[in-house]
Structure 1
């Protein structure tokens, strides 16, 4: 898998409220891959974004789950600092045949549309 395989997913993710560059990605020799990014915790849509991504990527269907995991990652806070500067999020895929572009399509079809229009996102009051 080359870096071009990640382009559509990264372009889509950058449209989501609170997600901004830089994004990073990688893959292993066995075809597993990941995309890492930050979500601005001061963005009013940040927790809705986390909830949407968590639902789609982790538990869209109990019977037919995607081969993905969405989770937070962080270096040791006691050595670096708090979540504003050091909390990141990662999408990991364990299926070499499930490409990043497929995830972009799954997300696009299930998230508020258009994803970059914040009037389509509900805020918790």
Structure 2
């Protein structure tokens, strides 16, 4: 198994999430931890719902036993490049090698709307969805 095939389950899952652009970067660090980097189409009607879901699951699912992941925005200097439509990206990083990308995909898939690519499953009827 090459080093990138380990990341395939998470990359495949992320490509099904509404608003995530298909070009997804990924890699492994020397210590065995991994990362994936992607963009979310900020014009997609579910863009901020996707960010909210991932932020909750990957950063804050449990205060006492959080997942060994970090979900965060990253960007080159806006004053040198441009705005978020083209230059804002999102990164998921593992903090321990034992937490595999497949396990991360399982956590996301088990807690995000299901099936994740069915847009009708993403609306929960709250006031934000009516705007």
TM-score, normalised with respect to structure 1: 0.97
Aligned equivalent of 1:23: 24
Q: How many residues align?
A: 125
Aligned equivalent of 2:75: 74
Aligned equivalent of 2:106: 105
| CA displacement at 1:124 relative to structure 2 | 2.2
Q: Report the aligned-residue RMSD.
A: 1.0
Determine which structure has the larger strand proportion and give its number: 1
TM-score, normalised with respect to structure 2: 0.92
* Range with bigger deviation, 26-35 or 79-88: 26-35
| CA displacement at 1:115 relative to structure 2 | 0.3
> Residue 124 of structure 1 is aligned with which of 99, 106, 129?
129
Q: The residue matched to 1:31 in structure 2 has which SS? A: coil
Which residues of 2 match residues 38-117 of structure 1 at below 5 A?
38-117=39-118
Structure ranking higher on relative contact order (CA contacts 8 Å, 6+ apart) = 1
Q: The residue matched to 1:124 in structure 2 has which SS? A: helix
Q: The residue matched to 1:114 in structure 2 has which SS? A: coil
| CA displacement at 1:32 relative to structure 2 | 1.7
**Structure 2 unaligned blocks of 5 or more:** none
**Structure 1 unaligned blocks of 5 or more:** none
Aligned equivalent of 1:2: 3
Deviations 1:40-64 (A, max 9, x none): 0000000000000000000001111
Q: The residue matched to 2:105 in structure 1 has which SS? A: helix
